[in-house]
């Protein structure tokens, strides 16, 4: 059965490469992927696959197979990221597929088409849904806040909204893949972890006055921010190495003119950790530090907080299924395992509720998120990876014990209702804290 799948993917290779080229040259930011959506849906329609459901501006899903169970979910992300100087950057907003998301789309479609053929001919039984997810990149915040205000979305990330709307409820497990850039040694990556993060915007407010003639009449918001940065630096000695905590930010407004005491200063930051508990604790400590450092010199600090993504922990049993299918194409020494990446993704949120994996694949040159990223090995990226995905789904659908073991060993980490409360509580003021 797997050999048939491989031959079908090879037969349509040129068609997949044409789709890949078109998508790579049509980069769009999250919740704006209208052209991308049209290209994909047209391609699917030409292969007799109709859209099952649309949601959240540009997201949609398709399903092959009529059986209620078993039900496997596949993930493809639609959005690009601003990348100044990339040869394929959209001139309107510098969007480019320097994150490699367009490659996910093609490989998942390739896998789905081959699985459809097996299911349609009764060689395989079950159901496979391919979710085309918008807005994985945590960017373009002001635009997305407007969408939230208009009730078009609940939260910043695409999968966050899909989780809240119960779109993943009926699947047994979920398979995802993401480009891992250029590696000399490794071809694939399994069982890696991703950090979780919270986005913070600290707004320090003081009182303006003439910086030379009357500094005593002012309250320096930049000094309040500097005091907070010292507190932030001192907190680093409390970090546990195993949590791999990170705090990094920039001052996006440091005052208006040199000759005036700054009355408004804005510091934006990400707080990251591999531990959900450590992330929440550190987040609260930093909020208290900012507020009380400002108070210490008579200033105020108002904080805007947007919940980012949860830490991602791979499902080990599901990873093992994919790992075994990788071995048909590469040797064990070419597969990286157990990497801890400080990067984040909304796939972490999905892993709270369903057995989920995101394996990595190479075949690129240049730097991930860089202006020189391009696909250097199209056969590996689009064909070999699609074969691994399709073969893994075959194992899951054909071996009920394997899938039962995966599902029975998994425990959801919270309810959808509690999750919604957490991710949609986006702002708080000074009076809400201690």
303 and 356 housed in the same domain: no
Q: Residue 231: give the domain boundaries.
A: 196-309
172 and 230 housed in the same domain: no
Please tell me the total count of domains within the chain. Answer: 2
259 and 356 housed in the same domain: no
Angle between helices 316-326 and 400-408 (to 10 degrees): 140
Last residue of a domain, one of 309, 335, 368: 309
172 and 224 housed in the same domain: no
Whether 425 maps to a domain, the answer reads no
| pLDDT on residue 68 | 85
201 and 187 housed in the same domain: no
392 and 319 housed in the same domain: yes
Written as tens digits, the pLDDT of the chain (434 aa) is: 899 999 999 999 999 999 999 999 999 999 999 999 999 999 999 999 999 999 999 999 999 998 889 999 999 999 999 999 999 999 999 999 999 999 999 999 999 999 999 999 999 999 999 999 999 999 999 999 999 999 999 999 999 999 999 999 999 999 999 998 767 789 999 999 999 999 999 999 999 999 999 999 999 999 999 999 999 999 999 999 999 999 999 999 999 899 999 999 999 999 999 998 899 899 999 999 999 999 999 999 999 998 899 999 899 999 999 999 999 999 999 999 988 888 899 999 999 999 999 999 999 999 999 999 999 999 999 999 999 999 999 999 999 999 999 999 999 999 999 999 989 875 444 334 33
305 and 327 housed in the same domain: no
Whether 183 maps to a domain, the answer reads yes
Give the pTM. 0.90
174 and 89 housed in the same domain: yes
Whether 348 maps to a domain, the answer reads yes
Whether 421 maps to a domain, the answer reads no
| pLDDT on residue 426 | 58
Whether 429 maps to a domain, the answer reads no
Last residue of a domain, one of 258, 284, 309: 309
């Amino acid at each position: 059965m797997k050999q048939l799948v491989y031959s079908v993917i090879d037969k349509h290779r040129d068609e997949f490469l044409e789709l890949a080229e078109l998508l790579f040259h049509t980069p769009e930011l999250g919740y704006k992927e209208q052209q991308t959506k049209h290209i994909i849906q047209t391609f699917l329609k030409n292969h007799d696959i109709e859209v099952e459901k649309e949601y959240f501006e540009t997201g949609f899903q398709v399903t092959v197979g009529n059986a209620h169970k078993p039900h496997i979910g596949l993930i493809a992300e639609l959005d690009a990221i601003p990348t100044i100087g990339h040869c394929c950057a959209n001139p309107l907003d510098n969007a480019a597929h320097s994150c490699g998301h367009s490659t996910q789309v093609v490989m998942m479609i390739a896998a789905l088409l081959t699985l459809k053929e097996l299911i349609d001919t009764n060689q395989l039984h079950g159901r496979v849904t391919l979710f085309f997810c918008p807005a994985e990149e945590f960017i373009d915040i002001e635009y997305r806040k407007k969408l939230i205000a208009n009730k078009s979305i609940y939260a910043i990330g695409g999968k966050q909204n899909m989780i809240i709307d119960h779109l993943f409820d009926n699947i047994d497990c979920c398979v995802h893949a993401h480009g891992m850039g250029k590696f000399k040694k490794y071809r694939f990556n399994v069982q890696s972890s991703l950090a979780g993060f919270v986005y913070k915007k600290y707004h320090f407010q003081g009182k303006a006055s003439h910086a030379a003639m009357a500094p005593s009449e002012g309250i320096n918001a930049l000094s309040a921010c500097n005091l907070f940065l010292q507190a932030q630096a001192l907190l680093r000695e409390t970090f546990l190495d195993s949590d791999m905590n990170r705090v990094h930010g920039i001052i996006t407004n440091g005052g208006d003119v040199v000759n005036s005491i700054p009355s408004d200063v804005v510091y934006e930051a990400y707080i990251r950790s591999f531990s959900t508990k450590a992330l929440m604790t550190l987040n609260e400590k930093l909020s208290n530090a900012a507020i009380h450092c400002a108070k210490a010199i008579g200033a105020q600090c108002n904080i805007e907080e947007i919940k980012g993504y949860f830490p991602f922990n791979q499902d080990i049993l599901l990873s093992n299924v994919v790992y075994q299918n990788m071995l048909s194409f590469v040797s064990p020494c070419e597969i990286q395992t157990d990497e801890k990446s400080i990067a984040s993704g909304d796939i972490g949120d999905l892993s709270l509720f369903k057995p989920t994996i995101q394996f990595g694949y190479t075949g690129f040159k240049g730097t991930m998120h860089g202006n020189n990223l391009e696909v250097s090995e199209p056969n590996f990226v689009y064909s070999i990876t699609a074969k691994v995905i399709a073969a893994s789904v075959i194992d899951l659908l054909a071996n009920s014990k394997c899938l039962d073991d995966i599902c029975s060993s998994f425990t959801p980490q919270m309810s959808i209702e509690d999750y919604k409360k957490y991710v949609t509580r986006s702002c708080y003021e000074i009076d809400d804290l201690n």
